[in-house]
């Protein structure tokens, strides 16, 4: 019979959960005693039931063995792991009359990629060892190559040294010859440059003289140009400016004279007007004075009669001033208890009139015979 035991997520000795599947070939033992044991265990059971019992036994031992090993031990040495399972499970299965013909590990994997990481580590280690081996080989080859190059360079150096010595001697001889040649060339070059400098100095002096003459001519031309410019400025700017200034001066003097004449005329006018007004005032004053003198003489001659005349002359004016408010009055109503008393009120007003005039003018109207008759009749 072929059995395929499977243990999922079994923790190893390091606590890493892995899944292991295997393949086992088993058969019923043919020995008389063991066959009787097998019959005793499985008689009356189907093949499936027999496979189930054997499978559970193998998976139990497989699970227990996984808990004692590390992932590396299981993964790196599957044959040893399978042999260990056979050795442990064979006695238990043998007591059931079953023999394990073979047991191999089919697959080992985990859900956390631990085994793939382990494989990467091994691959990296192998790669590292390979790189180290290559590097060591390259190192050895480089060392040997360097040694060969060194031997070659030593030979070349000796040859180059001999060539350099010969070349140095040749260069020294050439340098000695060149030094002598260069000394002769330098002397000839110095003599040539000295003569050339002398010729150049002469040429420079002649150029300076030419520049001096040319500059003198330019100065003469500039002076003539300055004179022409001055004359042109005098003709185009100065003369018109002087003419304009003279014109403005004449206009200013004319305006000034005009203002002076106008002021003198105004002063003369004011003077004449003042004299006329003074004469008029003097004449009026003299007339008024004469009038007052005549009035004074008349007042002195007539005495109280003149004063009375003045009062009488003033009374209409006083009456007009007093009556001015009454002129705007449409009607005057005198209130009295009896009709006969109205006449008495009027008489009282007329009787008080001389007193008022005396208070205002100092003239006693009661002493004037004409007014006594008027007031008495009133």
What is d(CA 51, CA 2) in angstroms, rounded to the nearest whole number? Answer: 8
Rg (the chain; Cα; Å): 83
User: So what's the pLDDT on residue 377?
Assistant: 47
* Average pLDDT estimate for 22-33: 84
CB atoms within 10 A of CB 83: 13
Q: Using one digit for the tens of pLDDT, what is the confidence trace for 232-270?
A: 777 777 777 777 777 788 888 878 888 888 878 787 878
Q: What is the mean pLDDT of the chain?
A: 76
Is-contact 1 63, C-beta < 8 A?
no
Q: Using one digit for the tens of pLDDT, what is the confidence trace for 134-157?
A: 788 888 888 888 888 888 888 888
DSSP 3-state assignment of 3? strand
DSSP 3-state assignment of 106? strand
Phi, psi of 43 (to 5 degrees): -65, 130
pTM over 0.85: no
Is-contact 105 22, C-beta < 8 A?
yes
User: So what's the pLDDT on residue 374?
Assistant: 46
> Whole-angstrom distance between the N-terminal and C-terminal Cα of the chain?
187
Among the listed residues 16, 18, 5, the one whose alpha carbon sits nearest the alpha carbon of residue 108:
18
What is d(CA 6, CA 107) in angstroms, rounded to the nearest whole number? Answer: 9
């Amino acid at each position: 019979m072929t059995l395929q035991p499977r243990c999922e997520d079994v923790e190893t000795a390091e606590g890493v959960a892995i899944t292991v599947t295997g393949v086992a070939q088993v058969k019923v033992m043919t020995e008389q005693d063991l066959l009787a044991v097998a019959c005793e265990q499985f008689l009356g059971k189907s093949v499936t039931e027999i496979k189930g019992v054997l499978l559970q036994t193998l998976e139990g031992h497989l699970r227990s063995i996984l808990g004692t090993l590390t992932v590396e031990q299981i993964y790196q040495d599957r044959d040893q792991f399978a042999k260990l399972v056979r050795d442990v499970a064979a006695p238990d299965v043998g007591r059931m009359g079953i023999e394990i013909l073979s047991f191999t590990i089919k697959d080992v994997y985990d859900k956390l990629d631990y085994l793939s990481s382990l494989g990467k580590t091994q691959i990296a280690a192998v790669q590292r060892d390979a790189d180290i081996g290559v590097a060591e080989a390259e190192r050895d080859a480089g060392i040997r190559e360097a040694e060969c190059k060194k031997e070659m360079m030593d030979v070349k150096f000796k040859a180059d040294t001999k060539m350099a010595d010969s070349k140095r001697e040749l260069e020294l001889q050439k340098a000695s010859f060149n030094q002598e040649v260069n000394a002769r060339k330098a002397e000839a070059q110095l003599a040539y440059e000295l003569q050339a400098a002398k010729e150049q100095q002469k040429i420079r002096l002649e150029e300076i003289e030419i520049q001096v003459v040319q500059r003198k001519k330019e100065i003469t031309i500039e002076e003539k140009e300055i004179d022409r410019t001055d004359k042109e400025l005098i003709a185009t700017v100065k003369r018109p400016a002087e003419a304009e200034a003279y014109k403005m001066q004449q206009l200013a003097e004319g305006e000034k004279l005009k203002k002076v004449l106008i002021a003198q005329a105004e002063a003369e006018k004011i003077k004449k007007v003042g004299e006329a007004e003074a004469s008029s005032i003097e004449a009026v004053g003299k007339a008024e004075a004469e009038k007052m003198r005549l009035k004074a003489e008349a007042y002195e001659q007539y005495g109280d009669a003149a004063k009375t005349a003045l009062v009488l002359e003033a009374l209409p004016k006083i009456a007009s001033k007093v009556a001015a408010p009454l002129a705007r009055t449409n009607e005057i109503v005198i209130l009295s208890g009896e009709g006969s008393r109205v006449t008495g009120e009027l008489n009282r007003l007329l009787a008080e009139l001389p007193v008022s005039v005396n208070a205002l003018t100092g003239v006693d109207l009661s002493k004037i015979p004409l007014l006594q008759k008027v007031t008495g009749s009133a």
